[in-house]
Structure 1
Amino acid sequence: MSRCLNIAVLALIVIWLNCGDGARILGIFPTASISHQVVFRTLTLELNKRGHEFVIVTTDPVKDTSIKNYKEIDISFLYDDIAKEVINIINFRGNMNWYVQFTMFESMVWEQMGRIFRHPEFKKVYEPNSGEKFDLILMEIFFTPGFMALAERFNAPIIGIASASLQLSLQYGIGNPILPSHPSSWEQDVKFRNSWTPWQRLEEFYQCWRMIYYYRTVSLPKQKEIAEQYLGIEVSDLHDLEKNISLIFVNQQGPISFARPNVPNIIEIGGFHVSDKIKPLPKDLQKTLDEATQGFIYMSLGSNVKSNMLSEKSRDAFITAFSKLSYKVIWKFEDDQLKGKPDNVIILKWAPQQAILAHPNIKLFIYQGGLQSTEEAISHGVPLVGIPVMGDQDMNVKKMVSLGVAVKLDILNINVNDLLEAIRTVTLDNNYKQRMLNLGSLLKDKPQNTLQNAIWWTEHVIRHKGAPYLHSTTADSPWYQRQDMDIIAFITAGFVSISILAILILYKCAIRGIKMFNHRPVDKQKKKRS
């Protein structure tokens, strides 16, 4: 009897300790893109299992009532805004740089922020007399830095999280080195040039600082104004909130990224969404892939870029190229019909991508270069043909090409010959497959699981109510002192001034010498006459 009593008391103590350690976390994930949301969801669900309570604002709620202490505020209506725009993203490529795209869509972002703040359930959370308290704000760092104001409303530290590498404007805010021409700067128009001329580097420098200037002088003040309007409090300068973020989880793993220097409060994560337990394929698709003994190819342009956005010319090039292959082709194609579809091509409006990539008969993945798709392909050892369209996709494909696991094509210049050459190069050369397997092994060989590392850092920030010791003092420096730009300017100005002075002195000396030379014969003649 006493033994049972002791066990019961011990169990109560464990429960009490878990409840005491559990924190209340407010999650803000406002980007309407499942490729973003799956990264955040994995972390929040795992933290919830460890006893932390969540209130999450998300466009893609899991809607699982069995999960306790996990309230979701559904803002999936933001997908309607994207649908209304009816934008063919492929048409942007080559016509609009990141600065133009950012400024064009920002008014829609501002409107979306207002709609989120006006959401009845969210208002109950942040209104002055709500009685809500949070130990941490976990928020996506991308288009809506105005939500950082919630940290002041609840007097809680911020952890940012990004589904891809950070944009330069945010890197500036936290004091990270600004490298305009570096291949990791994905929003730059770096187009894999064979050589860098000074003029090209100057263009990248201009575009970089133009974007940073706009972000800091237009975007941040406007979002501060929106936050103050709804929260009803005076919000600190968002520049200050940004540079004092405790830390940022960045979905970027070293072996598959372009190495660059980072400040201490950038913590690498990655592969969160890649599942260890693959769900079974639908029976008819499983049968089709099992019978593809010569192998099959899988093609998908992701969730934001769709295959039905391809021009008729590009679509016909894919159809013709696929018809010449002995492989089956599984094509994620969003329309009901594909005119001229060859017999070896199967179209699916939705595809269970991880399960398809895990099938042993797969030979090749043709994709748009999305980071999550890249991680899935590496996890299952599938070589790639990359056809980037936007965002960080160029950077991801370039890195895969540099590692010898992919071939890149230009989506604006797709033709049958290039497609066939790329497909045959990757499928017939076993080195692509072997290098991809080696890359997957390298990615797994790390001292600590990235998810467990992210959990430790999250709880570390909660325990210590922030992590100010990770703050980089560079973030406090004005732009002209970053990377000693003022010293370089001073030395350059001094060198130019001395050079100009030296040239003037030489010029004066030369003029004086010429005059003396011209007058000497005249003086000699005068002396002879006298």
Structure 2
Amino acid sequence: MSRHLITVILVVIICQQGFASRILGVFPATSISHQFVYRQLTLALRERGHELVVITPDPINDPTLKNYTEIDVHFLYEDANKIVNCVSPPNKTTWLEKVQDLAEKFMLMSQRILSHSVVKKVYAPNSGEKFDLLIIEMLFWQALLPLAKRFDVPVIGVSSFGLSLHLQHRIGNPVMPSHPVHWDAEIKVLGKLSLWQRLWNLVYAWRLVHFIETDCLPRQQMIARKYFGNDIPDIADMEKNISLVFVNQQAPISFVSPNVPKIINIGGFHVSKHIETLSQDLQKTLDEATHGFIYMSLGSNFKSTMLSNKTRGEFLAAFSQLPYIVIWKFEDILPGRPDNVITMKWAPQQTILAHPNIKAFIYQGGLQSTEEAVSYAVPVIGLPILGDQYTHVNKMVSLGVGKKLGILTFNRMDLVEAIRSVTTDVNYKERMLKLRDLMEDKPYDSLKNAVWWTEHVIRHKGAPHLHSTTADDPWYQRQDMDLIFIISTVIWIAFSITLFVLYKLLVYSINCSKDNRQLMSKKKRA
């Protein structure tokens, strides 16, 4: 019996080793909240027996992890920290203008990764390194795509938030400029739009795509040729033919839109299944908050210290009027804070949100924080600052589980009113509980589903059967725009000819009528 058991175990081990693949992951984003999403995927793949080599600015640095090698590119934060204050009035610009300002930074990031000594050893032609798959973060680092050509492997793209407009267009997804799912389309109004608003959204969306196509991509191509040689394929084509794209969007908390088959929605990877314990002092404070407490955080990228003194003063004045304790993630000393405000340089956010005494969550609208708020059924007050944060807050407001304020325009009374609304109106909490149930009601675990799709791509050496032919069509053939133009032109020409003929007939009739009157007049005189 023991021999049979040993044989079975050996067979299972051999089968697992036979399927185990070597995967290269490249995730340049200088944001720990983004990295948490990617980290959960790579760790899950490691648990399945695959070997991972991960390029990241936020390594785990756990020497006990086997088959998990990290290449630390934390130096990318040096460039990220040079970004100007995104919550100051001079930066009230569109996403297109921000991308234009940051384009140089994205180019520099691509070059710094490819010129890193350890990374260069990996992709050197004589390195001896072999991989079965490349998983890469999709945003503005297309110069890294030739890594797939170097190792002759398929590519899976991944985004920790909604896919940008130019990437939607590249892979053949329908680009609907007035649809709120496009967070970078700068949509200011939700619901029924006027003709002028739709026209502006159309112009803006295609200006953004045009800038990426004509400015960013050619420069990324030059960087790629510098490090991989002149014989590399066009990176636009490589991006178009990517095998699969994981997009961190969940239908209940997103503005739903049609997707091509190669887009696989994921979400909630980073939400912990095990709540960590709080420090004794914080646990005691929250337990004794008999009236409840409010938690405020502007996330990991935007610090509360970036707020102007005037804005801080409005927050403090509003908080002083509340019967609640306020836990504020504030990265420095905060002078003038009232007794009910407690500041923390770092806060265990998920554990705080899971506490039963919490009343509301004041945040910047980040997707990961939104997922956490829903997972723990906490009503929100959003003060969006940049990018997709406006979309997430708009969605929360549309679902009736939160309020939205302008980070630069609100006053203390606005904030007090918003807090009182979400804390005293039980409908906000009830709707959030229903939203949480809806999020959890799905036929599979999102992380396991992502692992399955990853292995599907490896098994089939890519996923050409998921490729949409719309990605190969020129822009004017998508959604039959060229046919609509031809039909519209024919109708307009036919209409114009008809009008011209009618005009000529009318003129002819008038002239005939005049001639008849003149003829009758002559006969009468005769």
TM class, shorter-chain normalised?
over 0.9
> Does the 8 Å contact 1:224/1:235 carry over to 2?
no
Normalised by the length of structure 1, the TM-score is 0.96
Conservation of the 8 A alpha-carbon contact between 1:35 and 1:303:
yes
Partner SS state of residue 271, structure 2: coil
Q: Which amino acid aligns with 1:67?
A: L
Q: 1:344 & 1:376 partners in 2: Cα distance?
A: 24
The within-5 A match list for 1:218-297 is 218-232=215-229, 234-297=231-294
User: Does structure 2 conserve the Cα–Cα contact (< 8 Å) formed by 1:149 and 1:224?
Assistant: no
Q: In structure 2, which of residues 314, 317, 320 is the aligned counterpart of residue 317 of structure 1?
A: 314
Task: Tell which deviates more after alignment, 266-275 or 432-441.
Answer: 432-441
The answer to which of 487-496 and 259-268 deviates more is 487-496
Out of 81, 84, 92, the position equivalent to 2:82 is: 84
Asked whether 1:55 is paired with 2:53, we answer: yes
For normalisation by structure 2, the TM-score amounts to: 0.97
Q: Which runs of 5+ in 2 are unaligned?
A: none
Contact conserved, 1:296 with 1:362, CA < 8 A, in 2? Answer: yes
Q: Which residue of 2 aligns with 1:117?
A: 114
Report the 3-state secondary structure (helix = DSSP H, G, I; strand = E; otherwise coil) of the residue aligned with 1:142: coil
* Distance in structure 2 (CA, Å) of the matches to 1:484 and 1:233: 36
Among 151, 158, 162, the alignment partner of 2:159 is 162
**Aligned counterpart, 1:191:** 188
- Find the aligned partners of 1:521 and 1:31 in 2 and give their Cα distance: 85
1:84 alignment partner, SS class: coil
**Alpha-carbon deviation of 1:351?**
1.0
Match in the other structure for 1:447: 443
Aligned-residue offset at 1:233: 5.3
CA distance in 1, matches of 2:468, 2:191: 35
Label 1:209 to 1:453 Cα distance change in 2 as closer, same or farther (>3 A): same
Say which SS state the counterpart of residue 73 (structure 1) adopts.
strand
Specify every segment of 5 or more residues in structure 1 that has no aligned partner in the other structure, as ranges.
none
Aligned residue in 1 for 2:138: 141
Query: What is the total number of aligned residue pairs between the two structures?
Result: 526
1:14 to 12, 15, 25: 12
Distance of aligned partners of 1:239 and 1:20 in 2 relative to their CA distance in 1, 3 Å threshold: same
Cα deviation per residue 1:69-97 (whole Å; 9 max; x = unaligned)?
11101011111112233x11123687321
Residue 286 of structure 1: how far off its partner (Å): 1.2
* 1:524 to partner: Cα distance: 2.8
Secondary structure at the counterpart of residue 342 of structure 2: strand
| 3-state SS, counterpart of residue 159 of structure 1 | strand
For 1:154 and 1:129, how far apart are their aligned partners in 2?
11
Deviates more, 1:234-243 or 1:112-121: 234-243
Partner Cα distance (2:433, 2:348) in 1:
22
| Residue 301 (structure 1) aligns with | 298
Measure the CA separation in 2 of the matches of 1:352 and 1:35.
13
Secondary structure of 2:81's counterpart equals helix
Give the fraction of aligned pairs with identical amino acids, expressed as a percent: 54
Report if the CA contact (8 A) 1:269-1:450 is conserved. yes
Q: Name the CA distance, whole Å, in 2 between partners of 1:149 and 1:283.
A: 51
C-alpha contact (below 8 Å) 2:289/2:357 kept by paired residues:
yes
Contact 1:269 1:454 in 2 (8 A): yes
Equivalent position of 1:460 in the other structure: 456
**In the alignment, which of 507, 511, 517 is matched to residue 515 of structure 1?**
511
Partner of residue 327 from structure 2, selected from 330, 344, 369: 330
- Are residue 74 (structure 1) and residue 72 (structure 2) matched? yes
Paired position in structure 2 for 1:490: 486
Counterpart-to-counterpart distance in 2, 1:201 and 1:307: 35
CA distance in 1, matches of 2:331, 2:486: 58
Question: How far apart in 1 are the matches of 2:438 and 2:259?
Answer: 21
CA distance in 2, matches of 1:193, 1:94: 23
- The answer as to whether partners of 2:249 and 2:265 remain within 8 angstroms in 1 is yes
Corresponding residue for 2:26?
A: 28
Deviations 1:440-489 (A, max 9, x none): 11111110000000011111111111111001111111111101111111
| RMSD, aligned α-carbons | 1.6
